[in-house]
Structure 1
Amino acid sequence: MRVKDVNELVQTVFSGLSPLIIEDVVDEGERVVVRARTPQDTAVCPVCGAPSGRVHGYHWRTVADVPVDGRRVVVRVRVRRLVCPTRGCRHTFREQVPGVLERYQRRTARLASQVKAVAKELAGRAGVRLLAILAVGLSRHTALRALLRIPLPTGREPRVIGVDDFALRRRHRYATVVIDAETHERIDVLPDRTADTLEAWLREHPGVEVVCRDGSATYAEAIRRALPDAVQVADRWHVWHNLCEAALSEVKAHSSCWATVLGAPLYDGPRAQTTRERWHQIHDPLDQGVGLLECARRLQLALNTVKRYARADQPERMLLVPKYRASLVDPYREHLRKRRTEDPAVAVKHLHEEIKALGFTGCLNLLHKYINQGRADTDRSHISPRRFARMLLTRPDNLKAEHHELLAKLTAACPEMTQLATLIRDFAQLLKPHPGNADALTHWIDQARAVDLPHLHSFTRGLERDRDAVNSALTLPYGNGPTEGVNTKTKRIARQIHGRAGFTLLRHRILLG
């Protein structure tokens, strides 16, 4: 192969090797070998910086390059060892070719960048499998070393940050991620979620003015100790989630009211009788002035159980509607209801044959169970407390027309449900940050405390305990949503490197983004 042809080939296929003088290209079947040499220019001593062109000797370097035509490329370069002209400096040094040959490397710079890009996205084993398809052979340990050699980004001093914890080992070990809440860039990952660790980090970054966090009292204490003048912003999603939990508890407590609208029966059996008896056992000493903790000790019950029964002003508030899942019989409920109204003595076997002709694919036992539960006699299919609560908490524009009608009927079942629906709608409007929301929240809390909704009262007490952070969440545009997004991506990263997910490696991948 002529040199002229090789030079033309370099400009098209081996353009990344243009700083070298290619002398030959050999096709060895499974790989392509490129023989080259360095140009005869002077090189700079890496110690003193003096240029030198005096040759002490030659030797060969072998490095891998990006594949061509699905085959590995090996570059064998003859490099010079030069003599340093400075007296007292090192005697000789080997020339380097920046951008192509780096010191101590066995891959060209462009191949190393591709390996790092794959390792950054896929880490060890998965990255190695992809690189093998691309005709780049290396071990998973080498891929991880290449990943750890990627320099971490050094961003500016953040003004607004978001902090949140994530599990290294669920229920055992946790870590803390810190991001820039304005640019969503990852700043640091702390090895635990203790107040001392976060406090030490905040003291090293005194320029932080706003900290977005969840309801963690540990983080709140660390921020108060390290940056007493910093503004703490609660997470709006967690505030809304706490309201959802309180609303669901209120819906369950008033099952005896709204369930009658659907004709759905409450539990009426040994379990219901036990619930009534326990309600009286707990309320009798409470009415005599016994405290919650002493009542729990006397009855040998958990304190939370006593609190739950104490919130109910009557035993019926503790009874729930049965939890029924969707059934194959549901589409034929109106037919069954109509037939049983016309002929109450109709046999279930005859009903099974009739709905089977209409397309029913279930068995006779399923129909028996459906009728015995009373689900065929109600005006409409049964809904659970969770579904009712979900309709209360859903944006009205996202509800269907039939859901609006059902929701209006259910909320009108008792005054407490009507008041709950109104309070939920009013609070949802506060989640859009506005400077006047702090005063509006005070008015909302007063309204919530004026109604007979004990679980909502507990929610308002939680708001008061962290009132400053909640006020900031409802008035400032910052939030902890981006931090939660980083945690979601962290779970994917942890699954990819399961088994080798040491904190150093995991932290490196998180900060690389």
Structure 2
Amino acid sequence: MNQSISTVGKVTTNKPIYVNVNKKKSTISFKLHIPHYRQDRVSISGKSYTVELSCTSNNIRCPACGCLSQSLHGHYIRQLQGSEIFNHSLTLLVKTRKFRCRNEHCLRKVFSEDHSCLASPYGRNTLEVEERIREVSLKVTSRTASELLHGQNIFCSQSACLRSAHKELPSKSSNSLPVAIGIDDFAQKKGHIYGSVIVDQMTHRPIAVLPCREGDELEQFLRNNPQIQYITRDRRRNFVEAINRILPGVTQICDRFHLIKNLVDALTEEIASLSRLSVHNQTYSYPSTEECRTKIMEALYGLGDARHRHKLNLFVQADSLIRKGMSISETARQLGVHSQVIWRLVRHHTGKDYMSAQQKSILKHVDELALEISHGCTDIKKLKKKMESKMDTIAISAATIGIRNKIKQELREIRKYNKNITERKNKKQASIRSIRRFILKGESAVQSLTALLKNPLIKQVITLGLRFREMINGNPKQWSLENWIKQAMECDSKAMKTFACGIKADQQAVQNAMDIYLNNGLLEGTVNKIKAIKRQMFNRASYRLLNVKLIAFKT
């Protein structure tokens, strides 16, 4: 349908509409230029125009066999909604004829005229109106789209707008497959549910929105696109593992922004702890079950008199060495005793043979004791009450005294530390922002940070950070990535060592970031677009609707 009848968001064409209004007789006439159709009658009712149309062709082909037919069977009126004319809604009444197929072998006996150039099959709107509804529905919510279209004299419900937005977009580049892509994740529900977005780095257009950042959907996409040669990504391990598993030969490129951000995040806490005192309360975490068990076993071996302890500890050491594969003579030589002593000690004996009844009772319930203490039960009265039917109270006290004293000492230190928080808050300290700037530039106006440069360790860390930033930004000078990793691994800073280990594990992708211009900046903008669409849809949009809206999103 080639008409220019809307005053909202339309461009004037060379095919005009002739309108003639006779105020005395209250009649109106105009001419619509619709190929293959003639205009039979025009009428007006309130603020609505009604135009009756009929097809000009006399010979219609059967859609099943393709034979021409002139045998008229009947007709019916098809009602279509058209674009507005001078702030009036337009209704098209299209006379649709039905014909008989004269081909005896055709399975289709009766068929109707084809109006595909005017409207879609079973459609209630013209193609132009359908396109208008779809464009508005893709840019705003269905409720807003319905109201905006109503202002253009196009009547469409919220549900119809939503169904129109859900339809697949026609592919404009179906023959071109992506060669270089970028992948990033976004939060559907922060901290719980994440999705992934994939963008073509060559065309700068989104390709897909996946409902996960690891799993079958991501692997299926990579499996369906074996032609991909370059992938830009951040340093998230799930992306790396999926790419290495499905496309091992692809060139992976780390994002330069994320590399610098990872460096700053790794060093900030360490430099902050040296430049200022912490103003946050410390919390205590109880030791693990295995640590508690080790402490209880140490206490068990320390029970009894000196001779008994010596014999039991000697048996434990000898038994451990023999289990590792050492001979009797080698064990005796290492423990500094005669081989006959070791022979008599371990021959036909186990550890229980050298334990007292109290030690055997502790050994029997050592796992239960360790579990109770690791869950925070350090009060001796509560511990005795829980174990009273299983162990002697004296054995419980003797077995757990070491681990209980250790936990009490650590709790005492944390309480003392948290008491001084108010005093530390009143002191002027360097902000996180100034620390980050100090890491990136190597200088600061904050006195506490400038004083840190006198520390050789901090000076070395800042120098390594500045060199890494120069390399990533394309100015390697005399430093290579391999040499930088070697120097960073030799540094005494724990944070710098940890960061260097991560860079070494992903060394090739980091080197590609220095050599290849592609980056993930395009993905960050695309994620922001997804966030805008999600907020507009009150976070109720499905992944399929997000995908369609994102592809249609234009700024």
Q: 1:102 aligns with which of 99, 115, 120?
A: 120
Output the CA distance in 2 between the equivalents of 1:321 and 1:386: 20
Pairwise mapping of residues 173-188 of structure 1 onto structure 2 (< 5 A)? 173-188=193-208
Alpha carbons 2:18, 2:31 under 8 Å: kept: no
Identity between Structure 1 and Structure 2 (%): 26
Question: Are 2:512 and 1:475 aligned?
Answer: no
Q: 1:386 aligns with which of 432, 436, 440?
A: 432
Q: Deviation at 1:35? A: 2.0
Report the AA paired with residue 471 of structure 2. Answer: L
Alpha carbons 2:222, 2:243 under 8 Å: kept: yes
Seen in structure 2, the aligned counterparts of structure 1 residues 438 and 42 have a Cα distance that, compared at 3 Å, is farther
Q: For residue 428 of structure 1, what is the aligned residue in structure 2?
A: 469
Report the AA paired with residue 45 of structure 2. Answer: E
Q: Deviation at 1:106? A: 0.4
Q: Deviation at 1:118? A: 0.7
Alpha carbons 2:209, 2:546 under 8 Å: kept: no
Q: Give RMSD over aligned pairs.
A: 3.9
Seen in structure 2, the aligned counterparts of structure 1 residues 412 and 132 have a Cα distance that, compared at 3 Å, is same
Report the AA paired with residue 175 of structure 1. Answer: G
Q: For residue 8 of structure 1, what is the aligned residue in structure 2?
A: 18
CA deviation map 1:60-118 (0-9, x unaligned): 11110011223321111212222224323212211123331332110011111111111
CA deviation map 1:354-391 (0-9, x unaligned): xxxxxxxxxxxxxxxxxxx57xxxxxxx5633132243
Q: 1:43 aligns with which of 60, 65, 77?
A: 60
Output the CA distance in 1 between the equivalents of 2:62 and 2:45: 37
Output the CA distance in 2 between the equivalents of 1:320 and 1:433: 46
Q: For residue 100 of structure 2, what is the aligned residue in structure 1?
A: 83
Report the AA paired with residue 484 of structure 2. Answer: W
Q: Deviation at 1:155? A: 5.6
Alpha carbons 2:264, 2:440 under 8 Å: kept: no
Q: For residue 46 of structure 2, what is the aligned residue in structure 1?
A: 29
Q: Deviation at 1:201? A: 2.6
Alpha carbons 1:195, 1:219 under 8 Å: kept: no
Question: Are 2:532 and 1:492 aligned?
Answer: yes
Q: For residue 138 of structure 2, what is the aligned residue in structure 1?
A: 120
Seen in structure 2, the aligned counterparts of structure 1 residues 447 and 209 have a Cα distance that, compared at 3 Å, is same
Output the CA distance in 1 between the equivalents of 2:529 and 2:540: 17
Seen in structure 2, the aligned counterparts of structure 1 residues 479 and 14 have a Cα distance that, compared at 3 Å, is farther
Q: Deviation at 1:409? A: 4.6
Q: 1:226 aligns with which of 240, 243, 246?
A: 246
Seen in structure 2, the aligned counterparts of structure 1 residues 36 and 502 have a Cα distance that, compared at 3 Å, is same
Alpha carbons 1:164, 1:177 under 8 Å: kept: yes
Q: Deviation at 1:248? A: 1.7
Stretch moving more, 102-111 or 33-42:
33-42
Output the CA distance in 1 between the equivalents of 2:150 and 2:423: 59
Question: Are 2:268 and 1:248 aligned?
Answer: yes
Q: For residue 78 of structure 2, what is the aligned residue in structure 1?
A: 61
CA deviation map 1:377-412 (0-9, x unaligned): xxxxx563313224325679xx9xxx7797995564
Q: For residue 156 of structure 2, what is the aligned residue in structure 1?
A: 138
Seen in structure 2, the aligned counterparts of structure 1 residues 34 and 408 have a Cα distance that, compared at 3 Å, is same
Q: For residue 448 of structure 1, what is the aligned residue in structure 2?
A: 488
Question: Are 2:253 and 1:213 aligned?
Answer: no
Normalising by the residue count of structure 2, what TM-score does the alignment of the two structures yield? 0.63
Seen in structure 2, the aligned counterparts of structure 1 residues 21 and 252 have a Cα distance that, compared at 3 Å, is same
Q: For residue 346 of structure 1, what is the aligned residue in structure 2?
A: none
Seen in structure 2, the aligned counterparts of structure 1 residues 438 and 497 have a Cα distance that, compared at 3 Å, is farther
Alpha carbons 1:24, 1:34 under 8 Å: kept: yes
Q: Secondary structure of 1:178's partner?
A: strand
Output the CA distance in 2 between the equivalents of 1:129 and 1:188: 30
Report the AA paired with residue 432 of structure 1. Answer: N
Pairwise mapping of residues 189-200 of structure 1 onto structure 2 (< 5 A)? 189-200=209-220
Report the AA paired with residue 145 of structure 1. Answer: R
Output the CA distance in 2 between the equivalents of 1:226 and 1:16: 55
Number of residue equivalences: 403
Seen in structure 2, the aligned counterparts of structure 1 residues 230 and 8 have a Cα distance that, compared at 3 Å, is same
Stretch moving more, 14-23 or 239-248:
14-23
Seen in structure 2, the aligned counterparts of structure 1 residues 415 and 439 have a Cα distance that, compared at 3 Å, is closer
Seen in structure 2, the aligned counterparts of structure 1 residues 171 and 388 have a Cα distance that, compared at 3 Å, is closer
Q: Deviation at 1:233? A: 1.7
Seen in structure 2, the aligned counterparts of structure 1 residues 407 and 104 have a Cα distance that, compared at 3 Å, is farther
Q: For residue 382 of structure 2, what is the aligned residue in structure 1?
A: none
5+ unaligned residues in a row in structure 2: which ranges? 1-15, 21-28, 292-369, 375-402, 409-413
Report the AA paired with residue 189 of structure 2. Answer: R
CA deviation map 1:166-213 (0-9, x unaligned): 233333322222222222222223332224442333222211222222
Report the AA paired with residue 132 of structure 2. Answer: Q
Alpha carbons 2:440, 2:465 under 8 Å: kept: no
Q: Deviation at 1:249? A: 1.7
Normalising by the residue count of structure 1, what TM-score does the alignment of the two structures yield? 0.68
Seen in structure 2, the aligned counterparts of structure 1 residues 464 and 502 have a Cα distance that, compared at 3 Å, is same
Question: Are 2:198 and 1:157 aligned?
Answer: no
Alpha carbons 1:65, 1:107 under 8 Å: kept: yes
Q: For residue 546 of structure 2, what is the aligned residue in structure 1?
A: 506
Seen in structure 2, the aligned counterparts of structure 1 residues 72 and 471 have a Cα distance that, compared at 3 Å, is same
Q: Deviation at 1:464? A: 1.5
Pairwise mapping of residues 397-436 of structure 1 onto structure 2 (< 5 A)? 409=450, 412=453, 414-433=455-474
Alpha carbons 1:36, 1:78 under 8 Å: kept: yes
Report the AA paired with residue 430 of structure 1. Answer: M
Output the CA distance in 1 between the equivalents of 2:470 and 2:265: 18
Q: Secondary structure of 1:137's partner?
A: coil
Q: Deviation at 1:417? A: 4.4
Alpha carbons 1:116, 1:150 under 8 Å: kept: no
Alpha carbons 1:164, 1:483 under 8 Å: kept: yes
Output the CA distance in 2 between the equivalents of 1:255 and 1:40: 87
Q: For residue 399 of structure 2, what is the aligned residue in structure 1?
A: none
Q: For residue 239 of structure 1, what is the aligned residue in structure 2?
A: 259
CA deviation map 1:218-245 (0-9, x unaligned): 2211111112211222222221111111
Alpha carbons 2:80, 2:125 under 8 Å: kept: yes
Stretch moving more, 403-412 or 245-254:
403-412
Seen in structure 2, the aligned counterparts of structure 1 residues 60 and 415 have a Cα distance that, compared at 3 Å, is same
Output the CA distance in 2 between the equivalents of 1:438 and 1:113: 59
Alpha carbons 1:433, 1:476 under 8 Å: kept: no
Output the CA distance in 1 between the equivalents of 2:102 and 2:109: 8
Output the CA distance in 2 between the equivalents of 1:197 and 1:501: 19
